[in-house]
Structure 1
Amino acid sequence: MKKQISLIVAILALLGTSYAQGQQEPMRLSLQESIKYALQNRASLQATRNEEKIAKAKVGEIRATGLPQVNAAVEVGNNFIQQKTLFDPSSFGAAQELDDFVITPEQIDSGEPIVLKPSYSEPQPTNEERQLQAISFVQPYTGNATVSASQLLFDGSYLIGLKAAKTYTELSRKNTIQSEIEVAEQVSKAYYGVLVNGARMELLTQNLVRLDTLLNQTKVMFDNGVAEKLDVDRLRVQLNNLKVERQKAERLMLLSESLLKFQMGLSQSQPVLLTDELAAVDIDLGQLNPQNFDYSNRIEYSLLETQQSLAELDFRNKKSGYLPKLSLNARYGYIGVGESLSDVLNVRAGSNNTTDRNWFDFGYFGAQLQVPIFDGFRKRYQLQQAKITLDNTKLGFETLRQSIDLDLKQASTELTNALDVLESQQENLELANEIARVAKIKFQEGVGTNLEVVTAETDLREAQTNYYAAMYDALIAKVNLEKATGTLLTK
């Protein structure tokens, strides 16, 4: 019984959770709020910003090359085959021998002091002594502990590399801005798509109510013998078609909302409620066919400027390869020797220990100047490549300016045409509404036919579809023009 109660409680809790999720509060969003949310939460943008962080870390990595480099190393090893060299013992010479000398009786009898002047002679080495012998100056076990440091004093490539790294960071930042503009474009188009589909849904609902009312009125007229069954059937066909059209519009509405959530980086389970209205959307006609356009307003132009700076720095970097490099180096450490590993590990290196030491220190400090002399013309060819790359970057400005001019002209033309079509379709919609209203009145008064009503309703729905299609095209053209003029996303 307790298990059954626990199971019921669990089921009720699960149902309560599902109900709470189903009743999730919709997120109210304006277009600007949607763009802001996307800029903060879109996964692709987060990845782009991570690339920008990587570029900043790259600057630190290059800067670290010019800072002091300090390393420590400890090594112990076994010279299991000791290095040998040939040694000639005779090169050190043999021990000198005292030459014979004689003291005469006269010298003894004279009573004078006798001064001895010994002389020495070097014996000639034997053939055996002249033979080379292989000896080793290496102990079986050795070890060393070293601390080394170096400091770069001058390197032209390093100095230019620092500037290039900062420029690369700027390029990464502009790439992020370009991605943000693309996201703003995608969100704007998806937002307008939801607005247009929502307005069309409301209109289809109104059409359903109006047609359903007309069908009921026609049924009454048929029951009273005023209308024919054919009139009722025609209206029922129209009503069924309109219901199917509305179902398709509902699915399209859900799909457009899903697209908007995707472009925003928003969970698909989160309901949204758009607060902007189509009537409040402003289209700035002053942007049409702009004169004396500032190309730097376009992020693509700014990106190309940064790429040109990088190409110039790369060219200078290749030239700096002909300059010398200057650095300081220092080393200090100990080298130990021994007959066994335990002997090496038993470190005896104290300053007071002068007779039984097995570890001896050493030190070095110096400056190194490296001057390039000849590299087989490698740097020459690198300079040629860098120069051509720089020239191509400069040539790209003219192509980009022409492309921007074309974008402006195309976007202006598309918006002008879209506004003309929208104005025409709005007039057609008003006429279709009036025709449908008059046809309904004539039919109800008995001076018109049901066929006229059906035809008018069909023409009205077609006019509505064309009107909202024209409105969507105008909104998309508006976004394209704002992107072309560089005003879509301003910070």
Structure 2
Amino acid sequence: MLRKNISIILCLLSISFVGANAQDAWSLEKCINHAFENNLTIKRQEISVEVQKNELNQNKLNRLPDINASSNYGFNFGETGVRDGNDYVFTTDPIHSLSLRVGGSLPVFDGFSQRNAIKKSEKDLLSLQAEAERIRNDISLQITSYYLQVLFDKELLNVSKEQYNVSKQQVDRTKKLVDAGSQAMGSYLEIKSQAAKEALNVTQQENSLALSLLNLAQLLDLEDVSNFDVVFPEIPAVEQINLEDPKSVFNTAMGIMPQIKASQYSLESKELDVEIAKSGYLPSLSLNYSFTSNGNWYLNDKYDYNRPFSDQFSDNKNTYVGASLSIPIFNKFQTRNRVKTAKVGVLDAQYSLAQQKLDLRKEIQQAYADALAAYNNYLSSNEAVESYKESFRYTEQKFNVGLVNSVDYNVAKTDFIRAQSDLLQAKYSYILRIKILDFYKGIPIAL
């Protein structure tokens, strides 16, 4: 009954994987490009970049003059004396009035505040763009890690299936030997139990693969993850290790890693904050211009005061051109404290940059150590696989002729399976670490 249930489960799972393979599988490059186009964190950072571009543009436009126009209209109630020929008379007719003003100012000198504000906006924009690149890099590495986990689970599933097939054949062979009286029933039961365990291991590996695919699909924010699958690329054989010195990799990474650039631009922006704050110590000069005119009239046109509005507008016009000079003398130490605060911001940005450099150095050193350890593990695991393979083959031959019992056979087989698993783990761990080191050297991630 157990064997029948296992067969049904494997049949259903095989149908599921056939459906998955029926659709277009995703390559690593496709996964990364999809994330770049659809990841919400990247999109939000791109919005921040656009906002900063607008701020930079506005700071540049702030060098242009301000020009404004205003107009007022109203009427007054009450008794008013007006000229009527040579006499003054009083009237309660409302007086209507209209005025117009056009004015503007042009900053000539502001202690270099505006010039430094433009430079600061440029640095902030570069910092945000570098931060966007850092986010893309982090997502690329995360996708690569998840992708390699899927490949590892696929290979491990194949190993499990191969071992299960071997066990099924051994069960059939042992049953025949038991029926012929050449093997004890206990051996058959032990082999059958081992086959059941390996069938369960196949199911567990299929579940692990399904979970790895789900994790990758969710990382890509896919709406439909039911049939998601990936391309299994040709993985090059692990060759003689030739790792570049971590110090050399670090020196290369210092010039290309966006997190370093972002921190450097942020530091330069904070330094410009100091210069902007210092502009409060300097005088400011601006040119000013204004034009004004007005006119009044009564709705009752019996009075001589009702001159044509155009004549009034022309007679009452006034033009002003001048300059304004502001010299700071005492402002309750506000400028001094702004400068102090800006200098503290510079110090914090310096610490942040130093921390980014320290983190980068540690990451590269760790990646180098992990790659070296994974390579050594691979060599050891490869030797172990060959050794356990030969040992299992020899034990299997002796078991087939009744020279060893089923317990020894199962132990030899378990050791062989474990060695294969360790080899795959070391292999993909080494590939990931090599990709990380290449990434720090500016080599695009690809399989």
| Residues 360 and 273 of structure 1, relative CA distance in 2, 3 Å threshold | same
| Residues 263 and 371 of structure 1, relative CA distance in 2, 3 Å threshold | same
| Residues 24 and 274 of structure 1, relative CA distance in 2, 3 Å threshold | closer
Q: Give the match for residue 204 of structure 1.
A: 160
**Is the CA contact 1:348–1:358 (under 8 Å) kept in the aligned structure 2?**
no
| Residues 141 and 293 of structure 1, relative CA distance in 2, 3 Å threshold | same
**Is the CA contact 2:96–2:296 (under 8 Å) kept in the aligned structure 1?**
yes
Helix, strand or coil for the counterpart of 2:330?
A: coil
Q: Give the match for residue 43 of structure 1.
A: 40
Name which of 258, 278, 289 aligns with 2:235: 278
Q: Give the C-alpha shift of residue 362 in structure 1.
A: 4.6
Q: Does 1:152 align with 2:107?
A: yes
Q: Give the C-alpha shift of residue 154 in structure 1.
A: 2.6
Q: Which runs of 5+ in 2 are unaligned?
A: 1-18, 80-93, 300-305
Give the whole-Å Cα distance in 2 for the aligned partners of 1:446 and 1:262.
Answer: 52
**Is the CA contact 2:75–2:96 (under 8 Å) kept in the aligned structure 1?**
yes
Helix, strand or coil for the counterpart of 1:287?
A: coil
Residue type at the aligned position of 1:149: G
Give the whole-Å Cα distance in 2 for the aligned partners of 1:281 and 1:30.
Answer: 21
Larger Rg: 1
TM-score, normalised with respect to structure 2: 0.79
Residue type at the aligned position of 1:62: N
Name which of 64, 68, 71 aligns with 2:65: 68
Q: Give the C-alpha shift of residue 329 in structure 1.
A: 2.9
**Is the CA contact 2:109–2:285 (under 8 Å) kept in the aligned structure 1?**
yes
Q: Give the match for residue 219 of structure 2.
A: 263
Aligned length: 406
Q: Which runs of 5+ in 1 are unaligned?
A: 1-21, 83-138, 341-346
- Equivalent positions of 1:409-420 (< 5 A) are 409-420=365-376
Q: Does 1:467 align with 2:423?
A: yes
Name which of 138, 149, 171 aligns with 1:193: 149
Q: Report the more deviating stretch, 192-201 or 233-242.
A: 233-242
Q: Give the C-alpha shift of residue 214 in structure 1.
A: 1.0
Q: Give the C-alpha shift of residue 209 in structure 1.
A: 1.1
Q: Give the C-alpha shift of residue 411 in structure 1.
A: 2.3
- Equivalent positions of 1:205-244 (< 5 A) are 205-244=161-200
Identity of aligned residues (%): 21
Q: Does 1:164 align with 2:123?
A: no
| Residues 224 and 480 of structure 1, relative CA distance in 2, 3 Å threshold | same
Give the whole-Å Cα distance in 2 for the aligned partners of 1:61 and 1:455.
Answer: 75
Give the whole-Å Cα distance in 2 for the aligned partners of 1:214 and 1:481.
Answer: 45
Q: Give the C-alpha shift of residue 316 in structure 1.
A: 1.2
- Equivalent positions of 1:91-490 (< 5 A) are 142-155=97-110, 156-269=112-225, 271-279=228-236, 285-291=242-248, 293-294=250-251, 295-335=254-294, 337=296, 350-351=309-310, 353=311, 361-394=317-350, 398-482=354-438, 485-487=440-442, 489=444
Give the whole-Å Cα distance in 2 for the aligned partners of 1:474 and 1:490.
Answer: 14
Give the whole-Å Cα distance in 1 for the aligned partners of 2:335 and 2:411.
Answer: 81
Helix, strand or coil for the counterpart of 1:327?
A: strand
| Residues 358 and 487 of structure 1, relative CA distance in 2, 3 Å threshold | closer
Q: Give the C-alpha shift of residue 222 in structure 1.
A: 1.7
Provide the alpha-carbon RMSD of the alignment.
3.4
Give the whole-Å Cα distance in 2 for the aligned partners of 1:145 and 1:245.
Answer: 89
**Is the CA contact 1:336–1:358 (under 8 Å) kept in the aligned structure 2?**
no
Q: Give the C-alpha shift of residue 333 in structure 1.
A: 4.8
State the Cα deviation string for residues 6-26 of structure 1 (Å, max 9, x = none): xxxxxxxxxxxxxxxx78953
Q: Give the match for residue 84 of structure 2.
A: none
